[in-house]
Structure 1
Amino acid sequence: MITETVVTKGVKQQYAWLQDYIDSPEKQKQLYKRTLKIVILSQIFGGAGLAAGITVGALLAQEMLGTESAAGIPVALLTLGSAGAALLVGRLSQRFGRRAGLAAGFLTGGLGAIGVIIAALINSVFLLFASLLFYGAGTASNLQARYAGTDLATVKQRATAVSMAMVSTTFGAVAGPNLVGVMGGFADSIGIPTLAGPFILGAAAFILAGLVLLLFLRPDPLIVSTAIANAQEENSTVQEKPNSNSSPISKRGIVVGAAVMVLTQFVMAAIMTMTPIHMGHHGHGLREVGLVIGFHIGAMYFPSLVTGLLVDKVGRTAMAVASGSTLLASGILAAFAPGDSMILLICALVLLGAGWNFGLISGTALIVDATHPSIRAKTQGSVDVLLALSGASGGALSGMVVAHSSYAVLSLSGAILSLLLIPVVAWSRKVQSRELV
């Protein structure tokens, strides 16, 4: 009978099944492909759950609170919940594997969505806010699932792997907002407030995503990746192969990757949060809001496959600059577009989503490049905490900015902030040049 031992750095004995993967590059490739398929399936459900809350969260809070100045609170709470969950999911994943961490996050998000529905039924603002915090766990898992695809990817596959995970989110993310009207009507027919309807979809979607990962993400890619990296390091007489999954730890790379993602998240969350309120001021209904947000969320994820290829081939920093330029164009267009023009609003929100996409994938690739599998999930969780806090700040501040000025001022402010990506990238290139000398 084979004695199983825990895989830790410096320990030579491995699980028998882990040793099979360490010795077989072919099995590693097969597991990489299988992992991507499972992640893609979970992301389809996760995208639907994510989009449901984003689309009507602000409108539900406005209806229950009776004030627009607090309309940004739901997104802020959702992203604050995502921040706490990102840390926990990252640490759970580091200790027990991606399967346990991601499944726990999605299932918690599903319970949060159920809480939102109950809050709307009993008109409890306290329960609404508490439930949105738990709902944020689903958002955190939806984002961290992108890392699972990179665990067994080579350096030249990492951004592409992230993009494949994210592009699959498009199907659920686009469908979610466009089902707002349908789910609202369904909720009304069974005695649930109309704006709580999309959270029925969110609950089912997050729970299904969690079950897919819990049941099918086996063997765990992070555990296998860590074992492979440790075995390669212990074999000091063998030169590291080009397709190695191990990476040196670079604090500078982590800082640059985090900065790129944090800035893009802040700008995107601020403008996106107040767009439904802005549209309401100009006579647009729930279906029109769902259409615009659907295009926006589609632009957040649909370009991913092309973005990943560009990040891997053109470079991380070049795509970070592209992110800043696209967000700049989005902010300017959103600021000056007539509020009754659906086409221009859609164009502005599409650019906003695409700019976020470029920044998230390039930043994610930088984080993976800069970390070792033995600390990767924990580091990724910590970075995603900053990402969520950035989104929370953007969502909370957006309502106050619009209440005291206008949507145009908010959009222009986001455009100006996006320019900060340029000095971040310039600093990154200087560091790289010095390290090569």
Structure 2
Amino acid sequence: MKPMFALFTGVACLSTAVVGLSTTAALIVVEHTGPAWSGLPNAALVLGSAAGALASGTLAARYGRRLVLVMMYTAAVVGALIAFAGVLGGSVLALVAGMPLIGFGNSGAQLSRYTAADLSPEHRKGFALSTMVWAGTVGAVAGPALIAPAAARAEAASLPALSGPLLAGAIVVAIAVIAVAALPRALAAPVEKSPRRERMSMRNPLILGPLVAMAGAQLAMVAVMTMTPVQLHQHGQGLDVVGWVLSAHLIGMFALAPLSGWIADRWGGRATIFCGIGTLTVAAVTTFGAPTSHHVGIPIALFLLGYGWNLVFVGGSSMLSRDLPADQRTRAQGTVDAFVWGTSAAASLFAGQLFGLGGYALVAVAAGVCALAPLVVLGRRAVVPGTAEKAGLR
């Protein structure tokens, strides 16, 4: 199996499973405890993704990416099986306990984009990592479609209906484990050996620039995306409209990733981030100016929100893959991903508070501020001896 195909298969399987598992887990919690705790499984998954990203950077630096991908995906299989067992036993606690392990698998999928970049020549790194982001399109389509037939199979086997998608998710992730196990053994060798005192500080602009840009984009995207269904519901729109708007958002998030990768290869990661910040700002302004336009304004805003996030995510990842010294980048990449996933949890929490204080318009304003704030840091340029490109010019 070719390495890029193996990585793509793994990410596609993980994204499919995560979408299906998180949706199903929320429905199960609603059945058992009511809607007040429906966000708990996703919060546990996000926190698991953050912890997994931090661990994967450290472990990959010591043992190589191949082994870490196998470990993280295997953890997700175990997490899905724990959740499945929890449903069979009627334990919501066991269901939620499995979600952080699924988040570990999700962090492995994020690590795959950097692995794809490492396997590609310098002039193709942006496009290579963007194909891993594009694999999320598979999950956006297949994940929800997996739920109904899996539930029907479970009922036919005299099991709780919603246990079916959990078991199906475990099977899908197991396919990802098999795929990444076929990666070249060269990826198993340790890739970083630099002493701790020689590692770059996270305050170095080579790291800090992508970090704050990706975190700002994540905050802006998650805040608006989280509150959009609430806004539509309050203005009398049904689930069909909610589904259409979120579909436009998901298309923006994933479908155009190869274009973002091409931009990063052609003009550099920094320019790609600036394009993303501009797109996110337009999305925030559109959201603020047309908060009830569910036919035109909100779908366009959510599409731009998704694609702005994509541009920043691909651009920042490209900078972290190109600009950092090879013997130090793996730990830095894991730390950045951990911070970005942590901001997702914060955005989900504070978006509701902002919505309660000032409605959808205030959420849009906050999103615009979060998107623009990284410009302060991106204006700084790092100087690394020996190459102008590593001075942050890309």
**1:86-107 Cα deviation digits (max 9, x unpaired):** 1222222222221110121122
8 Å CA contact retained: 1:38, 1:212: yes
Matched ranges for 1:144-183 at <5 A: 144-183=111-150
Identity of aligned residues (%): 26
The residue type equivalent to 2:211 in the other structure is A
Q: CA deviation at 1:345?
A: 4.2
8 Å CA contact retained: 1:106, 1:137: yes
Residue segments in structure 1 that go unaligned for 5+ positions in a row: 1-32, 231-247
8 Å CA contact retained: 1:167, 1:304: yes
8 Å CA contact retained: 2:205, 2:382: no
Residues 1:314 and 2:267 are matched in the alignment: yes
8 Å CA contact retained: 2:57, 2:333: yes
Distance 1:62 1:328, change over 3 A: farther
Residue segments in structure 2 that go unaligned for 5+ positions in a row: none
Q: Distance in 2 between matches of 1:352 and 1:42?
A: 26
Q: Distance in 2 between matches of 1:376 and 1:434?
A: 13
Residues 1:365 and 2:318 are matched in the alignment: yes
**1:76-126 Cα deviation digits (max 9, x unpaired):** 321111111112222222222211101211221232233334444555443
Residues 1:43 and 2:8 are matched in the alignment: no
Residues 1:265 and 2:218 are matched in the alignment: yes
Q: CA deviation at 1:313?
A: 1.1
8 Å CA contact retained: 2:291, 2:361: no
SS in 2 for 1:406: helix
SS in 1 for 2:118: coil
The residue type equivalent to 2:16 in the other structure is A
Distance 1:340 1:328, change over 3 A: closer
8 Å CA contact retained: 1:265, 1:387: yes
The residue type equivalent to 2:20 in the other structure is A
**1:219-249 Cα deviation digits (max 9, x unpaired):** 334739x49x99xxxxxxxxxxxxxxxxx96
8 Å CA contact retained: 2:245, 2:302: yes
Q: Based on CA coordinates, which of the two structures has the bigger radius of gyration?
A: 1
The residue type equivalent to 2:218 in the other structure is Q
Distance 1:75 1:52, change over 3 A: same
Q: CA deviation at 1:307?
A: 0.6
Q: Distance in 1 between matches of 2:380 and 2:153?
A: 52
The residue type equivalent to 1:350 in the other structure is F
Q: Distance in 2 between matches of 1:401 and 1:58?
A: 23
CA RMSD of aligned residues (A): 3.6
Q: Distance in 1 between matches of 2:292 and 2:149?
A: 25
Q: Distance in 1 between matches of 2:392 and 2:150?
A: 56
The residue type equivalent to 1:348 in the other structure is A
Distance 1:380 1:201, change over 3 A: same
Q: Distance in 2 between matches of 1:324 and 1:288?
A: 27
Q: Distance in 2 between matches of 1:115 and 1:433?
A: 47
Q: Distance in 1 between matches of 2:160 and 2:244?
A: 21
Q: Distance in 2 between matches of 1:415 and 1:60?
A: 35
SS in 1 for 2:2: helix
Matched residue, 1:25: none
Q: Distance in 2 between matches of 1:384 and 1:105?
A: 15
The size of the alignment, in residue pairs, is: 383
**1:254-290 Cα deviation digits (max 9, x unpaired):** 11111111111222222333444445554533x6655
Residues 1:284 and 2:238 are matched in the alignment: yes
Matched ranges for 1:28-67 at <5 A: 34-53=2-21, 55=23, 60-67=28-35
SS in 1 for 2:120: coil
SS in 2 for 1:220: helix
The residue type equivalent to 1:311 in the other structure is A
